[in-house]
Amino acid sequence: MSWIKRNLFFALGGILALGLLGVAGFYTYKSWSRNNDAKQKLSEIYGTLQSLAQKTPAPGNEEINNTAIAARQEQQLREWISAAQSYYKPVPALASGINTSEAFVGLLQRTIDQLQREAKDAGVLLPPKYYFSFAAQKGNFDLATNSLDALAAQLAEVKSVVEILFAAHVNALDGVQRSRVATSDAAGSGSDFTELQPVVNDMAVIAPYTVTFRCFSLELSRVIAGFAAASNAFIVKSVIVQPAGVATAAAGALEGASAPAPGMPPADGPPAETPVVAVAPPVSTRGGLKIVLKEQLLRVTMDVKLVKLLPKS
């Protein structure tokens, strides 16, 4: 103790020096630990780069920058997607503010009247008092409010589908079928609905429609061309063709009205476009038989899909 008292300043200096050495050692250890961690991470990054460089395709080198090429290709793909959206235009709504049963029934009646006039002007025969698959909603003022938007959208889409048939001047429209979207559809006729259901994926809703009509081959080609040229994304999925005479009686039972004979206009409309009847000149064979080719009226059942892009989230 006496020595410490005699050398107090020296003892305090020694204790302080030891403390500083301890602090320095601690910071040295921490720095070494950080450097070691950094070295390990650098080794991992270097190993990853080496692995990427050996893959196909590789990120590139001084001459070829595959990363930049990939970025340009991604931009080109985005531009193509943006341009392709112009081919998927939605069917425009027939009216806005359809939020009551009365408003929808009024829109339905106006649209049905318009389609019946268009059919008459185009010389297309319709079933009597036909409501284009919306007979269940005719005069029904007790429709569920949450189904009005879906019904109004389907009405606009059905109108677009049948107007393509009218533009092609088919001889007769036997029926159009849609999928059920409302509780009121349960009371409708089964002939108004298809058993096909809409398909929904991450990008679009694919709505099914089925149309049955009678025509000649020229008008059938016009129908297919009309769907292909439409501004909306219609896809013809299947076409079933058979002679109109083989069709069931229900297709031709239009309350006494029958399909117009080749070259003859329907009784309740202006003259339809004269169908093409291809007749080959008689050719004599060894047996004295004559070969005559004559086109006949066809009954066509066509499944059509409408692709509707989902709104961007």
Segment 112-149, tens digit of pLDDT = 999 999 999 999 999 999 999 999 999 888 898 889 99
| CA count, 13 A, side-chain hemisphere, 188 | 25
pLDDT of residue 9: 64
pLDDT of residue 216: 95
pLDDT of residue 240: 96
The CATH number of 87-309 is 3.30.70.60
Q: What is the percentage of the chain residues whose pLDDT exceeds 70?
A: 76
pLDDT of residue 172: 97
Contact between 148 and 99 under an 8 Å Cβ cutoff? The reply is yes
pLDDT band, residue 209 (cuts 50/70/90): very high
Q: Is the previous residue joined to 57 through a cis bond, with omega within 30 degrees of 0? A: yes
291: nearest Cα among 302, 278, 304, 308 = 278
Integer Cα distance of 104 and 116 in angstroms: 18
Integer Cα distance of 132 and 174 in angstroms: 10
Has residue 245 got a pLDDT over 90? no
pLDDT of residue 49: 72
Going 248 to 249 to 252 to 254, the CA torsion angle's sign is negative
> Which of the two residues, 3 and 115, has the higher pLDDT score?
115
pLDDT of residue 32: 75
pLDDT band, residue 48 (cuts 50/70/90): confident
Has residue 255 got a pLDDT over 70? no
- CB neighbour list of residue 279: distance below 8 Å, 6 or more residues apart: 292, 293, 294
pLDDT band, residue 17 (cuts 50/70/90): confident
pLDDT of residue 52: 64
Tokens 């929808």 belong to 104
Has residue 253 got a pLDDT over 50? no
Mean local confidence (pLDDT), 95-102: 89
Contact between 179 and 210 under an 8 Å Cβ cutoff? The reply is no
H/E run at residue 99: none
Going 162 to 189 to 110 to 87, the CA torsion angle's sign is negative
Mean local confidence (pLDDT), 231-248: 86
pLDDT band, residue 293 (cuts 50/70/90): low
Has residue 276 got a pLDDT over 50? no
Pairing of strands 172-178, 199-200: unpaired
> Which of the two residues, 286 and 102, has the higher pLDDT score?
102
- Enumerate the β-bridge partners of residue 150: none
pLDDT band, residue 96 (cuts 50/70/90): confident
pLDDT of residue 173: 97
pLDDT band, residue 274 (cuts 50/70/90): very low
Segment 167-207, tens digit of pLDDT: 999 999 999 999 999 999 988 888 999 999 999 998 899 99
Has residue 86 got a pLDDT over 90? no
Spell out the domain ranges in the chain: 1-55, 87-309
- Burial class, 108, CB count within 10 angstroms (exposed 0-12 / middle 13-18 / buried 19+): buried
Has residue 38 got a pLDDT over 50? yes
CB environment 47-73: b (16+ within 10 A), e (fewer): eeeeeeeeeeeeeeeeeeeeeeeeeee
263: nearest Cα among 277, 279, 280, 281 = 277
Contact between 96 and 103 under an 8 Å Cβ cutoff? The reply is no
Write the DSSP symbol of residue 310. Answer: P
Integer Cα distance of 221 and 227 in angstroms: 10
pTM score = 0.63
> How many other CB atoms are found less than 10 A from the CB of residue 119?
24
pLDDT of residue 123: 96
Q: What value, to the nearest 5°, has the Cα angle with vertex 210 and ends 243 and 263?
A: 40
Q: Which two tokens stand for residue 202?
A: 């991450």
Mean local confidence (pLDDT), 298-305: 97
93: nearest Cα among 109, 111, 119 = 111
